[in-house]
Structure 1
Amino acid sequence: MAHKITLPLIFLAIIICLTGTQAAKRVTGYIKKSCATVTYPSLCEQSLSPYAKTIQTSPAQLARTALTVSLQRSLSTQAYLNKLKRFKGLKPRERSAIGDCLEEVSDSLDRVSKSIQELKNCDRVKGQEFIWHMSNVQTWVSSALTDENTCMDGFGGKTMEGKIKTSVRAQITSVAHVTSNALALVNSFAQKH
């Protein structure tokens, strides 16, 4: 009698596993396809795949998640720059450039944060109102990307070459790349709506 009950349960478990696997493949396929259109596709896939359950196949959720990844990366970079600014061995010009960079990253954080909130408004509106909210998001994310790129301006010239500039550039490049990807996904969402 036990064998009669166990066999159907085993088949049910296999069906559930296969269905779950197919759904997961569909979602990861959606993320991969969406990321193929951005400037940094492998970074896009790598940074968004952990959120596949949240994203599903929603262009709006994909854009929101990409902005959230940008925000998280910006917060991490801000913390890094704050720590670096307190380093005792900095030259005055390096300390000044890091301070300027911190301001740019803070501005970027503010704009990305506003964009996430504004994108939520897009879920509740249509037509011209959607276009208005989406235009705000696109403008703020684009400005955030400009802020991130402007950060490195203070490190120009041969006297600024070295480990500090290299480490700051690595942090800023990482943020700028995920923000660039987020902007591309936001633009894609705007076109589909």
Structure 2
Amino acid sequence: MARPGLLFLLLASTFVAYFISSTAAATPSSSSAAGTNFIKASCSATSYPALCVESLSAYADTVKLSHKELAQAALAVSLARAQATRDFVTRSARLKGLKAREYEAVKDCLEEMGDTVDRLSKSMTELKGMGSKSKGQDFVWHVSNVETWVSAALTDESTCMDGFSGKATEGRLKTSFRTRLVNVAQVTSNALALVNRFASKH
């Protein structure tokens, strides 16, 4: 049978070990903290910094201090939200009771969002394919493609919103569309700013 003093020491050491492991799990790693600070600093150069930080903080461990990884993460967020919005538009096109003007706006928006998803997908592929050896004119060419496609995606999103600008489309459908489209446009704008930042830092 263990002595009371020895038992106390065993319990105390167990508690200390548990406390240390729990504290370590709850405390972000230095690399994660550095990544978070890097994201905050980079997002300050975007048009929607609060949204930028909120949408990209989860990528801190992956981004670390890489402008390319941050731009890639921003494009991934933009693509995911564009896909979700396209799916919403697809479902909306099947709604019964739409007014003629609403149906036309939804149909046009579906085409625009399809183009947005396609362009953002190509942008991600282009950026991801850029190796560390991409320099000079090769680097400029690849980055220019990404910037062009993301800019075009932003125009598509704006065009979709314009389709719901008239009084004929007033109502809950317009409000739902606008909320989603504004969010997609804002994260896409942020992604473009971070791609431009990556290009300027190369």
- Normalised by the length of structure 2, the TM-score is 0.86
Q: Is 1:112 the equivalent of 2:120?
A: yes
1:94 equivalent to 2:102? Answer yes
Partner of 1:135: 144
Q: Does 2:177 align with 1:168? A: yes
How many residues get paired?
193
Are positions 1:26 and 2:44 aligned together?
no
Q: 1:154-187 CA deviation, whole Å, 9 max, x = no partner?
A: 2232222211111111111111000000000000
Tell me which of 186, 195, 198 is aligned to 1:189: 198
Against the structure 1 CA distance between its residues 127 and 96, is the aligned structure 2 distance closer, same or farther, given a 3 Å change threshold? same
| TM-aligned CA distance change 1:153 to 1:10, over 3 Å | closer
Amino acid at match of 2:165: G
* Residues 150-159 or 181-190, more deviating: 150-159
SS in 2 for 1:122: coil
Q: 1:2-151 residue pairs with structure 2 within 5 A?
A: 13=21, 20-124=28-132, 125-151=134-160
Q: Deviations over 1:78-122 (max 9, x none)?
A: 011111111112112101100100100111111110000110222
Query: Could you say if the C-alpha distance between residues 97 and 14 of structure 1 is closer, same or farther in structure 2, counting changes exceeding 3 Å?
Result: closer
Once residues 83 and 14 of structure 1 are traced to their aligned partners in structure 2, the CA distance between those partners, rounded to angstroms, is 46
Separation in structure 2 between the aligned mates of residue 53 and residue 166 of structure 1, nearest angstrom: 36
Unaligned ranges ≥5, structure 1? none
CA distance in 2, matches of 1:107, 1:71: 11
Q: Which has the larger radius of gyration?
A: 2
CA RMSD of aligned residues (A): 2.4
Unaligned runs of 5+ in 2: 1-8
Q: SS state of the match for residue 164, structure 1? A: helix
Normalized per residue, the structure richer in helix is 1
State whether residues 101 and 168 of structure 2, in contact with CA within 8 Å, keep that contact through their aligned partners in structure 1.
no
Aligned-pair identity in percent equals 51
Distance in 2 between the 1:38 and 1:105 partners?
Answer: 23
